[in-house]
Structure 1
Amino acid sequence: MMMTTLLPNPTDPRLSRTVEGVDEHGQSKSISVIEERPLTIYLNSQEIVTAMTIGDHPTYLALGFLLNQGMLSATDQVTGIDYDEELEVAVVRTAGITNVEDKLEKKTRTSGCAVGTVFGDMMAGLDGLRLPDTPVHTSTFYDLSYQINHTPSLYMETGAIHGSALCQGLQVLAYVEDVGRHNAVDKIAGWMHLNDIPAADKVLYTTGRLTSEMVIKTALMGIPTLISRSGFTAWGVDIAQQVGLTLIGRMRGKKFTCLSGQHRLVFDQDLSKIPDEEKKMRRKGAGHD
């Protein structure tokens, strides 16, 4: 079955608006700024969290959040996802009763922008996890990076936003954005679950820092390779090494640094054919949050 690629929609009037101001010369200036709105997520009758988001793909975000927090497992039968735009509420419904009380007893604030919240033990689910040893060719990194950085997006229009892209080979399957990098990854997780997308041969590209939270989410999704233009945190690297995740950061122009999972890399790119990154690259500054 042919699947439609999920891409940003920078022309959606709900996601940004024009604000009038002045520049450094005192001259009038109009700029487009990203919208933020709350989304309250329920699991059956239990209220779980209210997240700040740009408001697109609320069903993917709600489902992906619950999956990535371990409140839903891949075997739980999701019977429906209801979204009320006026109330700004998404309700994920399952066939059976799901016990989330233990997860709600402990809350940990993370370093994610827009205040990411992780419930319960952040390391839950990683014990014994080993990601598939699918090889990845370095030549694909440069092509994917170019595609993502030149795709029309809200970042190009407004800044102040992060993106995550699910890739297979040279194809970008899904590219989503949000004010928090963790929200963008959760949307990817929800989209993958609803479309039965296998993870073993995929690469996840993010514009955000490679923190412990980003590494944990990627590992629990079963994706073996995570790439970013931005840098690393030490705990993120430690966890990636524990589960064997290929972790690539600071990917700019010809350069990248791999701090975990080097065994998957196939170095097939002729670097002499890769141009140096432009000083005023359109995504300059992405990922610094």
Structure 2
Amino acid sequence: MNDLILSPQPDDPRLSAAVTGYDQTGALVETRVVTERALTLYLNRQEIVTMMTIGDHPDLLAVGYLENQNMLEDDNPITTVDYDDDLGVVVVRTERETNYEEKLKKKIRTSGCAQGTVFGDVMDSFDGTALSDTAMLSTASLQKLLKRINTMPSLYLTAGAIHGCVLAKGDQPLVYMEDVGRHNAVDKIAGWMRLNNCDPTDKIFYTTGRLTSEMVIKCVMMGIPILVSRSGFTAWGVDLAKSAGLTLVGRARGARFMVLAGQDRVIFDNDQSEEPTDDK
């Protein structure tokens, strides 16, 4: 795990809170629950959106959201990202002023939890994105990756009610983010990639959430050729993955999985003599 750059911080007291309640026997119990707080994002002088988030890495979330909504141009570099914790406001400033008034009027509410939103012209960029045709997914490597992810300390294991996303290379997790909405966790990774000039062509994206159209769109927009989930698929998600040339792997638990798109990238080299097991 030496290659892990960013990982969950389940012991951070800002991210969960202790509450008391009663179990099925009527006994008093104490448990931890994840926090939610509002974060309002500005791009230069323009208010873009208010998001509900656990509150970690607001800079990465802001940049990743703008990146995945096609609001950051390559020839208009980011100059600063300022965050005010008291106000719950993050401001991304670019070298040139921007104006997305018309773009903000054209929204598509997605199936993402916490009511994800995608702006209509994102699909224009989606249709024009070409993914790497040299990236490969070894099933033996995937099994090792899933085991490493599932045994890492996380806020999910501490408090539940949260989604996780991982950027990986081969069988090594690189960046592991969590949030109450899976789209937030995705955007944090997208923000990290943008700010660190990360090459997506040899990476794998893992999510605990469903493989919906939104997840496929975001992964393709990030330029990552392989998307893996422990959860299932939607029909439109599969159709979009096929049209974009994205390798889509779902229901991945232990040694079991299903590939519904981009199977040409998959190398089936795991030990077939082993009985598949389901990792928690």
On whether the aligned pair clears a TM of 0.5, the verdict is yes
Written as runs of structure 1 = structure 2, the 5 A alignment for 1:173-212 is 173-212=174-213
For residues 218-271 of structure 1, give each alpha carbon's deviation from its aligned partner in whole angstroms, at most 9, with x where no partner exists.
000000000000000111111100110000001112211111111111111113
User: 3-state DSSP class of the match of 1:250?
Assistant: strand
CA distance in 1, matches of 2:34, 2:147: 24
Count of residue correspondences? 278
- The residue that corresponds to 1:223 in the other structure is 224
Alpha-carbon deviation of 1:273? 3.6
For 1:43, give the aligned amino acid.
Answer: L
For 2:162, give the aligned amino acid.
Answer: I
Conserved? CA contact 2:142–2:170, under 8 Å: no
- Aligned CA RMSD, in angstroms, stands at 1.4
Alpha-carbon deviation of 1:186? 0.1
Conserved? CA contact 2:256–2:278, under 8 Å: no
CA distance in 2, matches of 1:246, 1:3: 24
User: 3-state DSSP class of the match of 1:51?
Assistant: strand
CA distance in 1, matches of 2:137, 2:99: 38
Alpha-carbon deviation of 1:122? 4.5
Specify every segment of 5 or more residues in structure 1 that has no aligned partner in the other structure, as ranges.
282-289
Decide whether aligned partners of structure 1 residues 3 and 139 sit closer, same or farther in structure 2, where only a CA change above 3 A counts: closer
Alpha-carbon deviation of 1:75? 3.7
Decide whether aligned partners of structure 1 residues 73 and 138 sit closer, same or farther in structure 2, where only a CA change above 3 A counts: farther
Instruction: Out of 181-190 and 264-273, give the one that drifted further.
Output: 264-273
- The residue that corresponds to 1:257 in the other structure is 258
User: 3-state DSSP class of the match of 1:247?
Assistant: strand
For residues 137-182 of structure 1, give each alpha carbon's deviation from its aligned partner in whole angstroms, at most 9, with x where no partner exists.
1111111101111100000001100000000112111000000000
For 1:259, give the aligned amino acid.
Answer: L
CA distance in 1, matches of 2:183, 2:110: 10
For residues 44-86 of structure 1, give each alpha carbon's deviation from its aligned partner in whole angstroms, at most 9, with x where no partner exists.
0000000000000000000000000011134430001000000
- The residue that corresponds to 1:284 in the other structure is none
Conserved? CA contact 1:71–1:103, under 8 Å: no
CA distance in 2, matches of 1:232, 1:143: 22
Alpha-carbon deviation of 1:117? 1.6
CA distance in 2, matches of 1:112, 1:77: 29
For 1:10, give the aligned amino acid.
Answer: P
- The residue that corresponds to 2:101 in the other structure is 101
User: 3-state DSSP class of the match of 1:268?
Assistant: coil
- The residue that corresponds to 2:116 in the other structure is 116
- Deviant stretches of 4+, over 3 Å: none
Instruction: Out of 44-53 and 137-146, give the one that drifted further.
Output: 137-146
Conserved? CA contact 1:104–1:120, under 8 Å: no
Conserved? CA contact 1:168–1:202, under 8 Å: yes
The answer to whether residue 272 in structure 2 is matched with residue 277 in structure 1 is: no
CA distance in 1, matches of 2:203, 2:146: 15
Conserved? CA contact 1:110–1:117, under 8 Å: yes
For 2:140, give the aligned amino acid.
Answer: S
Conserved? CA contact 1:106–1:120, under 8 Å: yes
Conserved? CA contact 1:102–1:120, under 8 Å: no
For 1:179, give the aligned amino acid.
Answer: V
CA distance in 2, matches of 1:50, 1:244: 33
Conserved? CA contact 1:253–1:274, under 8 Å: no
Conserved? CA contact 2:168–2:205, under 8 Å: yes
Conserved? CA contact 2:16–2:32, under 8 Å: yes
